[in-house]
Structure 1
Amino acid sequence: MTNKDLDTRFREAFEKASNMTETLPPDVMLRIYAYYKQATHGMVGYTQPSTNDLRNAFKTNAWMQISHISSDEAKELYIETINSLIHKKK
């Protein structure tokens, strides 16, 4: 592990995730989404979806399940998850 600060490592992990081309299982996608939202918005940015869209309901549920962790914890978990996915495909 390098001495890079958390925000730098988070941005790098986001770039890696943005460049991933393989399809991930839905549960992994939801976990990544939840960590990202908690890391960038916390529950401050949470709004109840206005439609009965099932996809948004799953995303909201995933986010709410980790709402108890801090933004920094969510960043660390996001980084770990993305890095583990990249190492699996090598």
Structure 2
Amino acid sequence: MPEKDLDTLFQEAYEKASNVKEALPPDVMLRIYAYYKQATQNAEQLRYFQAADLRDGFKMNAWMQVRHLTADEAKKLYIETINSVIK
């Protein structure tokens, strides 16, 4: 069986995360959010992110901390994080 490509693994991790029932710690959720945004959004869009409240401010800050990653690096870290916290 051939090895799955990065996009397939990323999609599987996304589906796994979407179906989680237990609450994850806020810092883990922010890390997951940041990796996902960096993997799927144009980094230029970060400049237009408006922090309307404190929660959005934390999300923007988390994304800014990983903006140096390429989309593929962010996907790999997203997959690793999901697989380490969701069994």
Same fold (TM over 0.5): yes
CA distance in 1, matches of 2:55, 2:67: 19
CA displacement 1:22-46 (0-9 Å, x = unmatched): 0011100000000000000141222
CA displacement 1:36-83 (0-9 Å, x = unmatched): 0000014122223152x0000000000000100100000000000000
Letter aligned with residue 60 of structure 1: M
In structure 1, stretches of 5+ residues that fail to align are none
The number of aligned residues is 85
The answer to whether the Cα contact below 8 Å between 1:42 and 1:70 also exists between their aligned partners in 2 is no
The TM-score, its normalising length taken from structure 2, stands at 0.91
1:49 aligns with 2:50: yes
Structure 1 runs of 4+ with >3 Å offset:
none
Q: Output aligned runs, 1:63-74, within 5 Å.
A: 63-74=63-74
The TM-score, its normalising length taken from structure 1, stands at 0.88
In structure 2, stretches of 5+ residues that fail to align are none
The answer to whether the Cα contact below 8 Å between 1:36 and 1:78 also exists between their aligned partners in 2 is yes
Q: Output aligned runs, 1:1-20, within 5 Å.
A: 3-20=3-20
SS in 1 for 2:41: helix
1:59 aligns with 2:63: no
The structure-2 alpha-carbon separation of the partners of 1:25 and 1:50, relative to structure 1 and needing over 3 Å to count, comes to: closer
